[in-house]
Amino acid sequence: MRIPRVFIPQDLRTGQTVLLPDQAGEHVARVLRLERDAALMVFNGDGREYDATLASLAKHAVTAEIHAVREVDRESPLQLTLAQGIARGEKMDWILQKATELGVARIVPIVTERTEVKLDEERAERRMAHWTSVIAGACEQSGRARLPALEPPQRMDRWLAALADTAASRLALLPDGDIAVRQCTQLDNGAILAVGPEGGFSDNDVALLKQANFHGLRLGPRILRTETAGLAALAALQARFGDI
Ligand code: SAH
């Protein structure tokens, strides 16, 4: 059986006994039915993996003891940022999960003119906590030892205005964009990919993106759903310039 990987957001070191988060403890004890001394891998997002064994399995307190630590390198050399027009409910979870598997470095949930999801401050906080757990789960499953950065949800115009002047290529996914993936030249400094929500970008959104020096990237002659478009672009760019 594959050794289960568990994300534990705290300092970790060899010799330490750590308490597993409730859900992970429940999972290894009741679902996988692991016993004392079973092997586990834990990580906290610092780029290392920690070998551990289950030390105790009380009902609400499953602990593991750390024995060894190693650096792992499963991050793509291509730094990709996905600025995703917030999609409804499970679709957004799906996008975050798959983008993490595909090696995205940073995710920015953006509110565009046609975003249907309303996020007041309290809801935004709860969403962030939920999205972080989706991303952590995708790292557990896919073997990443670093979590992609997740920015708080923000209005696209404000995100564009605050966007640091980096050398990353700026690409907006537009069905009528001027460039195709195969025409992209070297992306040595990474890329920022903006994807519209279910209803697409409005004319005003497109104008703002162009003003901020985004180039239109098209993904073939078919219209893809928002949850397909960003993931297809990430996969295509990782294949051409990254580590797929
Ligand atoms: N009805 C909308 C479709 C939105 S699809 C419209 O016609 O614009 C949601 C998002 O996916 C789009 O805003 C765009 O960012 C991306 N997308 C979908 N198909 C695409 C394609 N063929 N090329 C590039 N981007 C695409």
| CA-to-CA dists, residue 34 to 6, 22, 143, angstroms | 14, 15, 20
Distance between start and end Cα atoms, the chain: 26
Residue ranges of domains in the chain, CATH in brackets: 5-71 (2.40.240.20), 80-241 (3.40.1280.10)
- Residue-wise pLDDT for 175-193, tens only, equals 999 999 999 988 889 999 9
Cα of 127 from ligand 1 centre, angstroms: 24
Write the residue with the smallest CA distance to atom 3 of ligand 1: 200
Q: Are 18 and 8 contacting, i.e. CB atoms less than 8 angstroms apart?
A: yes
Cα of 4 from ligand 1 centre, angstroms: 37
Rounded mean pLDDT of 159-166?
A: 90
Q: Are 43 and 49 contacting, i.e. CB atoms less than 8 angstroms apart?
A: yes
Cα of 197 from ligand 1 centre, angstroms: 8
CA 44 to chain centre: 15
Ligand 1 atom nearest 195 alpha carbon: 15
Q: What residue type is assigned to position 178 of the chain?
A: D
- Residue-wise pLDDT for 1-40, tens only, equals 789 999 999 999 999 999 999 999 999 999 999 999 999 9
Q: How far apart are CA 25 and CA 40, in angstroms?
A: 11
Task: List alpha helices for 27-153, DSSP H.
Answer: 89-101, 121-142
- Residue-wise pLDDT for 34-90, tens only, equals 999 999 999 999 999 999 999 999 988 999 999 999 999 999 999 999 999 999 989
Task: Calculate the average pLDDT of the chain.
Answer: 95
User: Is pLDDT of 103 > 90?
Assistant: yes
Q: Can you tell me whether residue 1 is helix, strand or coil?
A: coil
User: Which tokens go with 95?
Assistant: 């996008």
Who lines ligand 1 at CB under 6 A? 173-175, 177, 195-196, 199-201, 218-220, 222-224, 226, 229
Cα of 41 from ligand 1 centre, angstroms: 39
Cα of 194 from ligand 1 centre, angstroms: 11
